[in-house]
Amino acid sequence: MGARCRECANVRRLPSYNISLVYLLRGLAAALVAGAAAGGLWGLLIPNPSIFGALFVGFGVGYLVGESVSRATNRKAGPPLQALAAAGILVAYLVRTVILASDLRHVGIVDIVTDDLYGYLAVGAGVFIAIGRLR
Protein backbone atom coordinates (compact mmCIF):
# COMPACT_ATOMS: atom_id res chain seq x y z
CA MET A 1 0.00 0.00 0.00
CA GLY A 2 0.97 3.62 -0.34
CA ALA A 3 3.16 5.30 -2.93
CA ARG A 4 5.34 3.16 -5.17
CA CYS A 5 8.20 3.83 -7.51
CA ARG A 6 7.62 3.56 -11.27
CA GLU A 7 9.14 0.07 -11.50
CA CYS A 8 7.07 -1.35 -8.65
CA ALA A 9 3.84 0.31 -9.78
CA ASN A 10 4.17 -1.14 -13.31
CA VAL A 11 3.16 2.16 -14.93
CA ARG A 12 2.18 1.80 -18.59
CA ARG A 13 0.65 4.07 -21.18
CA LEU A 14 -3.02 3.73 -22.02
CA PRO A 15 -3.56 1.14 -24.78
CA SER A 16 -5.26 3.65 -27.06
CA TYR A 17 -2.11 5.84 -26.99
CA ASN A 18 0.40 2.99 -27.25
CA ILE A 19 1.15 3.05 -30.98
CA SER A 20 3.49 0.47 -32.50
CA LEU A 21 5.30 0.76 -35.83
CA VAL A 22 2.71 -1.48 -37.51
CA TYR A 23 -0.10 0.87 -36.48
CA LEU A 24 1.89 3.88 -37.67
CA LEU A 25 2.39 2.28 -41.08
CA ARG A 26 -1.30 1.38 -41.29
CA GLY A 27 -2.19 4.95 -40.35
CA LEU A 28 0.21 6.33 -42.94
CA ALA A 29 -1.28 4.15 -45.67
CA ALA A 30 -4.81 5.14 -44.69
CA ALA A 31 -3.91 8.84 -44.62
CA LEU A 32 -2.29 8.71 -48.06
CA VAL A 33 -5.08 6.72 -49.70
CA ALA A 34 -7.90 8.72 -48.11
CA GLY A 35 -6.10 12.00 -48.82
CA ALA A 36 -5.53 11.13 -52.47
CA ALA A 37 -9.14 10.01 -52.91
CA ALA A 38 -10.55 13.07 -51.16
CA GLY A 39 -8.26 15.37 -53.13
CA GLY A 40 -9.36 13.76 -56.37
CA LEU A 41 -13.02 14.25 -55.54
CA TRP A 42 -12.33 17.79 -54.39
CA GLY A 43 -10.48 18.64 -57.60
CA LEU A 44 -13.08 17.09 -59.88
CA LEU A 45 -16.33 18.07 -58.16
CA ILE A 46 -15.63 21.37 -56.37
CA PRO A 47 -12.32 22.82 -57.62
CA ASN A 48 -13.00 26.46 -56.66
CA PRO A 49 -15.56 26.69 -53.84
CA SER A 50 -16.71 29.88 -52.15
CA ILE A 51 -15.59 30.67 -48.62
CA PHE A 52 -18.36 28.61 -47.03
CA GLY A 53 -17.86 25.87 -49.60
CA ALA A 54 -14.17 25.78 -48.70
CA LEU A 55 -15.07 25.35 -45.03
CA PHE A 56 -17.45 22.50 -45.82
CA VAL A 57 -14.92 20.85 -48.14
CA GLY A 58 -12.29 21.14 -45.42
CA PHE A 59 -14.61 19.67 -42.82
CA GLY A 60 -15.50 16.78 -45.12
CA VAL A 61 -11.92 16.01 -46.13
CA GLY A 62 -10.77 16.26 -42.51
CA TYR A 63 -13.49 13.93 -41.30
CA LEU A 64 -12.76 11.41 -44.07
CA VAL A 65 -9.01 11.35 -43.49
CA GLY A 66 -9.26 11.41 -39.69
CA GLU A 67 -11.83 8.65 -39.58
CA SER A 68 -9.90 6.47 -42.03
CA VAL A 69 -6.71 6.80 -39.95
CA SER A 70 -8.69 6.07 -36.79
CA ARG A 71 -10.30 2.94 -38.24
CA ALA A 72 -7.06 1.68 -39.78
CA THR A 73 -5.33 1.88 -36.40
CA ASN A 74 -8.13 0.25 -34.38
CA ARG A 75 -9.28 3.58 -32.91
CA LYS A 76 -5.89 4.46 -31.49
CA ALA A 77 -5.13 8.13 -30.93
CA GLY A 78 -2.25 10.44 -30.20
CA PRO A 79 0.05 13.06 -31.69
CA PRO A 80 1.81 10.73 -34.18
CA LEU A 81 -1.50 9.74 -35.77
CA GLN A 82 -2.64 13.37 -35.73
CA ALA A 83 0.48 14.29 -37.70
CA LEU A 84 -0.24 11.52 -40.21
CA ALA A 85 -3.80 12.76 -40.66
CA ALA A 86 -2.54 16.32 -41.21
CA ALA A 87 -0.17 14.95 -43.86
CA GLY A 88 -3.15 13.23 -45.49
CA ILE A 89 -4.95 16.58 -45.68
CA LEU A 90 -1.90 18.09 -47.38
CA VAL A 91 -1.89 15.20 -49.86
CA ALA A 92 -5.54 15.96 -50.63
CA TYR A 93 -4.68 19.62 -51.22
CA LEU A 94 -1.78 18.73 -53.52
CA VAL A 95 -3.88 16.27 -55.55
CA ARG A 96 -6.61 18.90 -55.90
CA THR A 97 -4.02 21.49 -56.98
CA VAL A 98 -2.52 19.17 -59.61
CA ILE A 99 -5.99 18.44 -61.00
CA LEU A 100 -6.81 22.14 -61.06
CA ALA A 101 -3.50 22.96 -62.80
CA SER A 102 -4.11 20.28 -65.42
CA ASP A 103 -7.49 21.82 -66.21
CA LEU A 104 -5.97 25.29 -66.50
CA ARG A 105 -3.19 24.56 -68.97
CA HIS A 106 -1.66 28.06 -68.99
CA VAL A 107 -1.51 28.34 -65.17
CA GLY A 108 1.26 26.66 -63.18
CA ILE A 109 0.95 24.88 -59.85
CA VAL A 110 3.00 27.63 -58.17
CA ASP A 111 0.51 30.26 -59.35
CA ILE A 112 -2.40 28.29 -57.92
CA VAL A 113 -0.69 27.62 -54.59
CA THR A 114 0.34 31.25 -54.05
CA ASP A 115 -3.14 32.65 -54.77
CA ASP A 116 -5.31 30.04 -53.07
CA LEU A 117 -6.68 31.62 -49.89
CA TYR A 118 -9.82 29.44 -49.82
CA GLY A 119 -7.71 26.34 -50.36
CA TYR A 120 -5.64 27.27 -47.30
CA LEU A 121 -8.85 27.78 -45.36
CA ALA A 122 -10.04 24.32 -46.40
CA VAL A 123 -6.71 22.77 -45.36
CA GLY A 124 -6.86 24.50 -41.97
CA ALA A 125 -10.42 23.36 -41.36
CA GLY A 126 -9.54 19.83 -42.47
CA VAL A 127 -6.53 19.60 -40.18
CA PHE A 128 -8.63 20.90 -37.28
CA ILE A 129 -11.31 18.24 -37.82
CA ALA A 130 -8.83 15.41 -38.47
CA ILE A 131 -6.89 16.19 -35.29
CA GLY A 132 -10.14 16.28 -33.36
CA ARG A 133 -11.01 12.79 -34.62
CA LEU A 134 -7.69 11.45 -33.29
CA ARG A 135 -7.61 13.17 -29.92
Per residue in 53-74, pLDDT tens? 999 999 999 999 999 999 999 9
Alpha carbon distance 2, 95 (integer Å): 57
pLDDT classification of 1: cutoffs 50, 70, 90: low
Burial class (CB in 10 A: 0-12, 13-18, 19+), 114: exposed
| More confident: 107 or 45 | 45
Alpha carbon distance 36, 96 (integer Å): 9
Alpha carbon distance 64, 82 (integer Å): 13
Average pLDDT, the chain: 91
Mean pLDDT of 3-19: 78
pLDDT classification of 2: cutoffs 50, 70, 90: low
Alpha carbon distance 24, 92 (integer Å): 19
Alpha carbon distance 132, 128 (integer Å): 6
- Are residues 119 and 93 in contact, defined by beta-carbon separation less than 8 angstroms? yes
Q: Which residues does 64 contact at the CB level (< 8 Å), separation at least 6? A: 34, 37, 38
Alpha carbon distance 41, 88 (integer Å): 14
Identity at 122, one-letter amino acid code? A
Mean pLDDT of 76-94: 96
What's the confidence (pLDDT) of residue 47? 84
Closest by Cα among 112, 97, 87, 88 to 36: 88
Closest by Cα among 128, 109, 111, 19 to 70: 19
pLDDT classification of 22: cutoffs 50, 70, 90: very high
